[in-house]
């Protein structure tokens, strides 16, 4: 028997329940992974709440985990039982002690990286890879704005930007989070609780503003983010932690300087095994060399059965960096 987290209707964290089940054998092109650590991501709350509804209910939750392959499907040749692996695009159900995953969505995990490091960083790290390397290729010495710089994605972005020699200006909501972002490699931080983000960006850049803004907050920061952009700058909206951006009048992009806007996701950038290997190899090399450090505080490691409390903490904005479920 194995244990997984399910929800039977949309709503708050109280809808999450632990259930016992018998794992099915992996399909022809799948592998079965015994999870050692499971990544918790803000998108999981969107799926649970119904903002991004699953195909059907009841539903599992989570797409990211790291562990040991216990079984392989008959068509799988590049992965074998006993391999250490990590995945982030599995299809819902990673909140489970055992999870069947498409083999082409699984990356072999180097021995130098722990299961907890991998599960805490893989989806977030692949996200930073496509944002900084593909959606808009950040250049050395280039200033840019990154919202929620002390979050799980943000802290990896701070470190990656520093490795690229770029100047990340991060927004945060407290003095403690400001220090965390600076320690991770942010060039400048703006506490949006105490300062105008737009005015501070102008001040930091000598009135030039920035070529690109990365925004995972959504509704609350959409328009102010546009006001931080140079003429013909790029707005990268990749999340909705404050709610989705809706009812946008495209004319505003013209009014604010012939701006560009995009709404990317990992599934638009990592679509096959070759793209997964390119992204994961770059991420793994930065983690293994210590350039990107992934440390999960003990208070942000939860038993699998405690997924409800993990979501409560995540949505309260009281966490910093990554959180994990440990089967």
Q: Which residues of 18-49 are buried (b: 16+ CB within 10 A; e: fewer)?
A: beeeebeebeeebbbbbbbbbbbbbbbbbbbb
Q: Are 166 and 142 in contact (CB under 8 A)?
A: yes
pLDDT in tens, 63-119: 999 999 999 999 999 999 999 999 999 889 999 999 999 999 999 999 999 999 999
Please state, in angstroms and rounded to a whole number, the distance separating the CA atoms of residues 322 and 310: 11
The pairing of beta strand 98-102 with beta strand 30-40? antiparallel
User: Rounded to 5 degrees, what angle do the CA atoms 126, 128, 134 make?
Assistant: 90
Three-state SS across the chain? CEEEEEECCCCCHHHEEEEEECCCCCCCCEEEEEEEEEEECHHHHHHHHCCCCCCCCCECCCCCEEEEEEEECCCCCCCCCCCEEEECCCCCCCCECEEEEEHHHEEECCCCCCHHHHHHHHHHHHHHHHHHHHHCCCCCCCEEEECCCCEHHHHHHHHHHHHHCCEEEEEECCHHHHHHHHHHCCCEEEECCCCCHHHHHHHHCCCCCEEEEEECCCCCCHHHHHCCEEEEEEEEECCCCCCCCCCCCCHHHHHCCCCEEECCCHHHCCCCHHHHHHHHHHHHHHHHCCCCCCCCCHHHEEEHHHHHHHHHHHHCCCCCECEEEEC
Strand partners, 16: 7
Q: What per-residue confidence (pLDDT) applies to 194?
A: 96
pLDDT in tens, 198-232: 999 999 999 999 999 999 988 888 999 999 999 99
Please state, in angstroms and as integers, the Cα–Cα distance from residue 179 to each residue in 148, 153, 318, following that order: 13, 16, 15
Q: What is the mean pLDDT of each run of 10 residues along the chain (327 residues)?
A: 97 97 97 97 92 94 98 97 96 96 96 96 96 97 96 94 98 95 97 97 98 91 95 94 81 96 95 95 96 92 97 86 91
List the one residue out of 165, 160, 133 whose CA is nearest residue 149.
160
The dihedral sign for the CA sequence 305, 148, 137, 282: negative
User: Rounded to 5 degrees, what angle do the CA atoms 279, 324, 54 make?
Assistant: 75
Q: What per-residue confidence (pLDDT) applies to 77?
A: 95
Q: What per-residue confidence (pLDDT) applies to 243?
A: 78
């Amino acid at each position: 028997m194995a244990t997984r987290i399910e929800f039977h209707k949309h709503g708050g964290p109280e809808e999450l329940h632990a259930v016992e089940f018998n794992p099915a054998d992996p399909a022809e092109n799948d592998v079965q992974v015994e999870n050692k650590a499971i990544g918790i991501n803000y998108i999981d709350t969107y799926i649970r709440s119904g903002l991004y509804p699953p195909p059907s209910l009841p539903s599992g939750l989570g797409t990211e985990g790291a562990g040991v392959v216990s079984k392989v499907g008959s068509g799988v040749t590049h992965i074998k039982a006993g391999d250490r692996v990590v995945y982030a695009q599995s299809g819902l159900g990673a909140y489970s002690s055992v999870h069947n995953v498409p083999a082409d969505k699984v990356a072999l995990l180097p021995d130098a990286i722990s299961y907890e490091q991998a599960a805490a960083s893989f989806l977030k790290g692949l996200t930073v890879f496509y944002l900084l390397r593909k959606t808009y290729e950040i250049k050395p010495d280039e200033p840019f704005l990154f919202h929620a710089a002390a979050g799980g994605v943000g802290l990896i972005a701070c470190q990656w930007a520093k490795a690229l020699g770029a100047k990340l200006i991060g927004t945060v909501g407290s003095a403690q989070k400001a220090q965390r972002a600076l320690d991770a490699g942010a060039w400048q931080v703006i506490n949006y609780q105490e300062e105008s983000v737009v005015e501070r960006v102008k001040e930091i850049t000598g009135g030039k503003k920035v070529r690109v803004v990365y925004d995972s907050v959504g509704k609350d920061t959409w328009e102010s983010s546009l006001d931080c952009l140079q003429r013909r700058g790029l707005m990268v909206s990749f999340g909705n932690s404050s709610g989705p951006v809706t009812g946008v009048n495209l004319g505003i992009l013209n009014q604010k300087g012939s701006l560009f806007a995009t709404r990317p996701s990992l599934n638009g950038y990592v679509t096959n095994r070759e793209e997964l290997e390119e992204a994961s190899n770059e991420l793994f090399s930065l983690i293994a060399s210590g350039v990107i450090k992934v440390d999960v505080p003990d208070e942000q490691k939860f038993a699998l059965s405690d997924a409800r409390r993990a979501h409560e903490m995540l949505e309260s904005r009281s966490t910093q960096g990554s959180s994990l479920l440990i089967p």
